[in-house]
Amino acid sequence: MSSLQPVRGTHDLLPEEQRLHKLVCDTACDIAARYGYNEISTPIFESTEVFARTLGETSDIVTKEMYTFEDRNGDSITLRPEYTAGVARMLMSNGLSQSLPLKVFARGPMFRRERPQKGRQRQFHQIDVEVLGVPGPLADIEVIALGAHILDELGLSQHIKLELNSLGDTASRQVYRAQLVEYFSDHKANLSEESLTRLEKNPLRILDSKAENDRQIVKDAPLLGGSLNAQSEDFFAEVKAGLSAVGIAFELNPYLVRGMDYYCHTAFEFTTDTLGAQGAVLAGGRYDGLVETMGGPSTPGIGWAAGVERMAMMVGTPPDAIRPIVVVPVGGDAADMALKITNQLRRGGFAVDLGFSGNMKKRLNRANKANAIAAILLGEDELAKGVATIRDMESGEQTEVPLTSLEEHLARYR
């Protein structure tokens, strides 16, 4: 066995796991299309500024987790740790502000250097939905409903709950920020060093702290809901009413926040208790100030991202591989005809496997291992008569079929 192994925090997707990932991603893409979302893809790496500016200089992702390097021109490049910033950059780079609203779906690998654990690798995969250019709560309702629909289609709804909170508008958050600064300033002596830094720059991030002392202090911190003004309360009321109208249950979680100033109004997470400590399966929120933060025009936005690995773990059983038809030539004279038939059937829409070598017994054994649905046997007798012997691999029944009628006879196996 080779001593070469995947880099820590990465792993190979072998056929079964790849089919499971494909099921999650294709299901999400198909349902998103029903809601009017077009699939896009952004580059796997961006200028570091794209993420540093949007994720915040004090965030764990920027300070600890991003894969950042200098290219040969001395430019700072970062492997994407999330999709939203790249989508916002795409909007600006391509002049799409004139084509709003923009509704997009994306999927692909992300990179964060964190401790590998169940359902979380350093290279992981996400599906992502973003709506740009819609300021009202209808967009919030739709993106949440889309997430719920995908989870339902994958059979995961019974294991998941939706948690919901309002972050309010800018004015509401400014009032709340002042309350947090006052509260945490009284507990400076017991705050972690990281939270002391956040107290100066972004006190809402203290609410996400994993340090045990910080968590104890956070328990008695003022809640954002008490700072919401009338406009923010009305917006949140419409979101809740809309979700109820389409039959989506939710629980209010006043501790669910987003630290960056460009986040506002709706924050939500679909969570589960089936994956241990990693409870969030799909999470998102409204970010009306993001594009402006990046130097673009004021553009409302809302979206979510979901971890493919976590969803795949919950689905559990991969779909079956396509059962091929196997072509088995017997004798050298049959090889050319086998190639011709294989090519013809593949172009006709059939999944066909052609064994490269071995006698009939070995090739049929391989056909069984491949879970073949049928075998086409070609020997001297068949060639002389212009036929092929079709063996149904389930029943063992064999039928001679003229080569000119192969596709018609095999139609049930397509």
Per-residue pLDDT of the chain (414 residues; tens, 9 = 90+): 568 999 999 999 999 999 999 999 999 999 999 999 999 999 999 999 998 877 766 566 666 788 999 999 999 999 999 999 999 999 999 999 999 999 999 999 999 998 877 777 999 999 999 999 999 999 999 999 999 999 999 999 999 999 999 999 989 988 998 998 999 999 988 899 888 888 887 888 888 788 888 889 988 899 888 899 999 999 999 999 999 999 999 999 988 888 777 889 999 999 998 887 668 999 999 999 899 989 999 999 999 999 999 999 999 999 999 999 999 888 778 889 999 999 999 999 999 998 766 667 777 778 778 889 999 999 888 999 999 999 998 898 999 999 999 999 999 988
Question: What pLDDT shows up at residue 365?
Answer: 78
Q: Give the residue among 27, 279, 24, 318 at the shortest CA–CA distance from 159.
A: 279
Question: What's the pLDDT score for residue 356?
Answer: 65
Q: Which residue intervals of the chain bear CATH 3.40.50.800?
A: 325-413
Of 89, 82, 95, 76, which is closest to residue 44 (Cα–Cα)?
Answer: 82
How are strands ordered across the β-sheet holding 68-70?
45-47, 76-79, 68-70
DSSP letters along 219-267, please? TTSPPGGGG--HHHHHHHHHHHHHHHHTT---EE-TT----STT-EEEE
pTM: 0.90
**Two tokens, residue 301:** 């936005």
- pLDDT for the residue numbered 261: 73
Per DSSP, what are the bridge partners of residue 45?
79
Residue 257: the pLDDT is 84
Asked if 142 and 129 count as a contact pair (C-beta separation under 8 A), the reply is no
Q: Quick one: tokens of 316? A: 């559990």
Q: Where in the chain is the domain with CATH 3.30.930.10?
A: 15-169+229-315
Confirm if 203 and 260 have CB atoms less than 8 A apart.
no
The amino acid sitting at 126 is Q
Does the domain made of 15-169+229-315 have the CATH classification 3.30.930.10?
yes
Fold of domain 325-413? Rossmann fold (3.40.50)
Q: Which helix (H) or strand (E) holds 354?
A: strand 352-354
